[in-house]
């Protein structure tokens, strides 16, 4: 059985900021076990492990597999990638709703050039907030909603606000025009407080990856799952089961993976939430991809780290 590990480097089309850290490229690993592939790509600013730590653990796991031993990875990205590489993937029977676009950039730039991209925006789009002055972000949201009366926005604050800031921001919005506001604050109690007082529909994301306690509240509409951060696929599957029990939407979301990981996330979304548009609109922020014309990893674009037949 072939065991292999490769490293990749994919430049972004423009510098992107992750929790205050500016990145110019996405770096990660592709692991091969037999005919199966998986992606291991900790997201800077979000993952608790570094790429170097993930690489060290993956190499140790592959060496154990080569000796016929059982592996027990502990790092989330390594758990996810190895699970994908060893998974028996069922046939994909239905096509997913189109991923909704992710709008990124400063409010000033987006407001300046809105005519160039707003006409391409469908009835749902995602916008990062809690990154720029509140008045600028609110001005952009008002323009979007005024120009597109059918548009609903997904807003993602990445836990960037205090309770008071989130309350003030939500007070300027019509909850009926917001699909949900994701990760208002770092604390679930603060999220619940603001949601109850403003009627704003909310979703949980980073809270889930940290394994922190939460409970259903009337304003909770969705669980956003980032399998690269959640680790073993069983962790995501447990959250899917909980969401179904509570009748919450499940949104499978990417961590700026390459085409290998994005393809697998799309297949997982087809299994876990076939009626929901996934949050996978990150490929356009990459200058290239790692897949050849047959949809297989192009080894000429990868740096080999380990190989055993």
Known catalytic residues are: 128, 226
Whether the CB-CB separation of 84 and 234 falls below 8 Å is answered with no
Our measurement of the distance from residue 193's CA atom to the centroid of its chain's CA atoms, rounded to an integer in Å, reads 25
- State the Cα–Cα distance between residues 268 and 272, nearest whole angstrom: 6
Inter-helix orientation angle 233-246/76-86, to 10° = 90
Closest CA to 122 of 183, 174, 179: 179
Q: Please name the residue ranges forming H helices in 87-226.
A: 107-112, 114-117, 134-147, 163-170, 188-198, 206-209
If you search the block for the tokens 């592939």, which residue do you land on?
37
CA distances from 290 to 9, 64, 245, 295, 297 (A): 9, 27, 38, 9, 6
- State the Cα–Cα distance between residues 288 and 170, nearest whole angstrom: 38
CA distances from 81 to 51, 75, 141, 197, 288 (A): 13, 10, 37, 41, 21
Whether the CB-CB separation of 269 and 278 falls below 8 Å is answered with yes
Structure tokens at 290: 């790692």
Whether the CB-CB separation of 154 and 124 falls below 8 Å is answered with yes
List phi, psi (to 5°) of 271: -85, -45
Whether the CB-CB separation of 278 and 225 falls below 8 Å is answered with no
């Amino acid at each position: 059985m072939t065991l292999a590990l490769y490293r990749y480097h994919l430049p972004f089309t423009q510098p992107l900021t992750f929790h205050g850290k500016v990145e110019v490229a996405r770096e990660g690993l592709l692991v091969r076990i037999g005919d199966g592939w998986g992606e291991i790509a900790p997201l800077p600013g979000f993952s608790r492990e570094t790429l170097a730590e993930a690489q060290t653990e993956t190499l140790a796991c592959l060496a154990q597999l080569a000796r016929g031993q059982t592996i027990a990875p502990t790092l989330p990205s390594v758990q996810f990638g190895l699970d994908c590489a060893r998974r028996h993937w069922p046939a994909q029977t239905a096509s997913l709703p189109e991923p909704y676009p992710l709008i990124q950039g400063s409010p000033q730039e987006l407001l300046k050039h809105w005519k160039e991209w707003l006409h391409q925006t469908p009835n749902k789009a995602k916008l990062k907030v809690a990154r720029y002055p509140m008045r600028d972000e609110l001005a952009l949201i008002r323009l979007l909603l005024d120009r597109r009366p059918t548009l609903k926005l997904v807003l993602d604050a990445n836990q960037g606000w205090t309770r008071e800031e989130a309350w003030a921001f939500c007070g300027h919005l019509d909850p009926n025009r917001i699909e949900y506001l994701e990760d208002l604050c770092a604390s679930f109690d603060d999220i619940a407080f603001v949601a109850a007082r403003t009627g704003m529909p909310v979703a949980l994301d980073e809270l889930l990856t940290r394994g922190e306690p939460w409970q259903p509240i009337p304003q909770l509409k969705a669980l956003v799952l980032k399998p690269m951060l959640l680790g073993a696929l069983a962790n995501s599957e447990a959250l899917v089961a909980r969401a179904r029990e509570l009748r919450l939407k499940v949104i499978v979301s990417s961590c700026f993976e390459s085409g290998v990981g994005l393809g697998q996330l799309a297949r997982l979304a087809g299994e876990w939430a076939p009626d929901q548009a996934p949050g996978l609109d990150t490929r356009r922020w990459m200058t290239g991809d790692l897949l050849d014309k047959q949809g297989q990893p192009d080894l000429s674009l990868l740096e080999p780290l380990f190989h055993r037949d």
